[in-house]
Structure 1
């Protein structure tokens, strides 16, 4: 068995990889072949250097990737994008791939590693724990099910205003985001490159990302996505100093309004199950549990 990074694969091998990772229906990062090239070959996986696939005699036995962006900020790396078939050799495949990923993460300076799996890979749990990882949390999918017109709910205070993301407020957007999620599991802090990418995305879909002002001060942010008539609330965040003022509720209402006006027929979001404050807010607003997106484990220190 041989491990190859994404950047080492030939074009035919990349097409074979795409067929492999999409067959389960659980892959987090790609829906089309072009998205695979962009994501696995882009900055998220260090331009193809940190996404690995395990091969034997021309067949793929498994995949695993490392995200090391947060090593600089908080010493943490993430192992994700795991695809391994439940065959009699799955334990060997997992061992080879996770050891490869751990070596890579440590070489980048990681002091702790979080590893995520989709629900169909729970058969790997004992193997994951045998490597010293301990379960920490789940990421849930919630769907908006309230039948009422959201525009009649939760009137926005006169002190709260919204601005679309722009060059003029991008620094405020980044500051609010990073402070809101600095200590949150699985959250990535935004840098200049991230902000430039978000501004570029706004050219195609203006209004899906924005800043909330409370009494004229940056207090919250929202980041939305619309794809195939499904609206996703990717992120809403409140600056810690402004929590408890109803800003989270206002951001949620604004997000639902924007997505509905943009043509969304369904609206979903992700929430970490241990974030009970956010979970209770979403439930109260009309979101219901739809399923588990992923399970997460952590290993530290190195």
Structure 2
């Protein structure tokens, strides 16, 4: 078995990896090839050095991504992109390799996001000491509904980068899978024209969002309200405003996801016409001794 990081792959091997991922039929967020590659090569996976591909000869037999950027600020490391159906031994190797890398980084907690299509990894996770925490569920909305109280959204620019980064980081610092967004991260998103930005009230940014619009499906990826502005109705305002934007820019269906343990958010989304869809992923946690 040969292990390579994404950055060690030649161009043909990178193309083979994307085809391998597509063959697994687990692109639940409907990401384009370009978006997938950009994610692998971005800061999440250490610019590609923490995304690993496993080969048997020339054949790809598995992948795993390790996210260490939250170890310093929060003490949390993440494992995802687990793929490898060839054998129990392979799956155990992938889990143990990624877990050991996280522990050696100094992580006080290791979290694993396991796509629903890859339940075959559950025995290896349990054997490795991981415990189930919660599931990520998809919500859907097909009936177009425009809200009169919505406000115009501001797509991310360099001028908004600091506000966007602050809101995203502060809003999720105590959440199960919160991540630190730096100003540099935000500037990169702005330069790459990601569909993200802020909403403002009285010229002050009070909420931030990340969206995806592809094949007439609008994904509401992330919604965040600054802690100092919570419980003021801005969450509902943000939610309604991004829906209007997606409908008005060609979406025929809206999708989003929420952890099944987040009852407040779950109830809010259902009240706005979303219905429960498929289970997307299961999350496991380990606190190294």
Residue 239 (structure 1) aligned with residue 226 (structure 2): yes
Alignment map for 1:35-50 (pairs within 5 Å)? 35-50=35-50
Among residues 265, 270, 274, which one is paired with 2:261 in the alignment?
274
Q: What is the Cα deviation at residue 34 of structure 1?
A: 4.3
TM-score, normalised by the number of residues in structure 2? 0.90
Alignment map for 1:17-36 (pairs within 5 Å)? 17-27=17-27, 31=31, 33-36=33-36
- Alignment check: 8 A CA contact 1:15 1:33 kept: no
Which blocks of at least 5 consecutive residues in structure 1 are unaligned?
none
Among residues 125, 146, 168, which one is paired with 2:159 in the alignment?
168
Match of 1:210 in 2: 198
Among residues 105, 110, 128, which one is paired with 2:125 in the alignment?
128
Match of 1:199 in 2: 190
Q: Give the 3 Å change call, closer, same or farther, for CA 125–78 of structure 1 in structure 2.
A: same
- Alignment check: 8 A CA contact 1:165 1:211 kept: no
Match of 2:146 in 1: 150
Provide, for residues 105-146 of structure 1, a one-character-per-residue CA deviation record: whole Å limited to 9, x for no partner: 233332211011111211321221110101111111111144
**What CA RMSD, in Å, does the superposition of the two structures yield over aligned residues?**
2.4
What SS does structure 2 have at the residue aligned with 1:245?
A: coil
Residue 74 (structure 1) aligned with residue 74 (structure 2): yes
- Alignment check: 8 A CA contact 2:171 2:224 kept: yes
Distance (whole Å) between structure 2 residues aligned to residue 109 and residue 28 of structure 1: 31
What SS does structure 1 have at the residue aligned with 2:159?
A: coil
Match of 2:63 in 1: 63
Distance (whole Å) between structure 1 residues aligned to residue 67 and residue 117 of structure 2: 21
Range moving further from structure 2, 106-115 or 163-172: 163-172
- Alignment check: 8 A CA contact 1:138 1:293 kept: yes
What SS does structure 2 have at the residue aligned with 1:256?
A: helix
Distance (whole Å) between structure 1 residues aligned to residue 173 and residue 164 of structure 2: 14
The alignment covers a number of residue pairs equal to 289
Residue 177 (structure 1) aligned with residue 164 (structure 2): no
Residue 186 (structure 1) aligned with residue 186 (structure 2): no
Distance (whole Å) between structure 1 residues aligned to residue 245 and residue 271 of structure 2: 19
Q: What is the Cα deviation at residue 166 of structure 1?
A: 3.3
- Alignment check: 8 A CA contact 2:167 2:208 kept: yes
Distance (whole Å) between structure 2 residues aligned to residue 182 and residue 279 of structure 1: 20
After superposing on structure 2, the runs of 4+ consecutive aligned residues of structure 1 that deviate more than 4 Å are 28-36, 160-164
Q: Give the 3 Å change call, closer, same or farther, for CA 245–161 of structure 1 in structure 2.
A: farther
Among residues 135, 143, 167, which one is paired with 1:138 in the alignment?
135
- Alignment check: 8 A CA contact 2:82 2:94 kept: no
Q: Give the 3 Å change call, closer, same or farther, for CA 11–123 of structure 1 in structure 2.
A: same
- Alignment check: 8 A CA contact 1:176 1:239 kept: yes
Among residues 232, 242, 246, which one is paired with 1:255 in the alignment?
242
Distance (whole Å) between structure 1 residues aligned to residue 252 and residue 22 of structure 2: 25
Distance (whole Å) between structure 2 residues aligned to residue 270 and residue 164 of structure 1: 22
What SS does structure 1 have at the residue aligned with 2:179?
A: coil
Provide, for residues 17-49 of structure 1, a one-character-per-residue CA deviation record: whole Å limited to 9, x for no partner: 222111121146885554444332332211222
Range moving further from structure 2, 65-74 or 39-48: 39-48
- Alignment check: 8 A CA contact 2:221 2:256 kept: yes
Distance (whole Å) between structure 2 residues aligned to residue 278 and residue 272 of structure 1: 9
Distance (whole Å) between structure 2 residues aligned to residue 216 and residue 41 of structure 1: 35
Q: What is the Cα deviation at residue 50 of structure 1?
A: 1.2
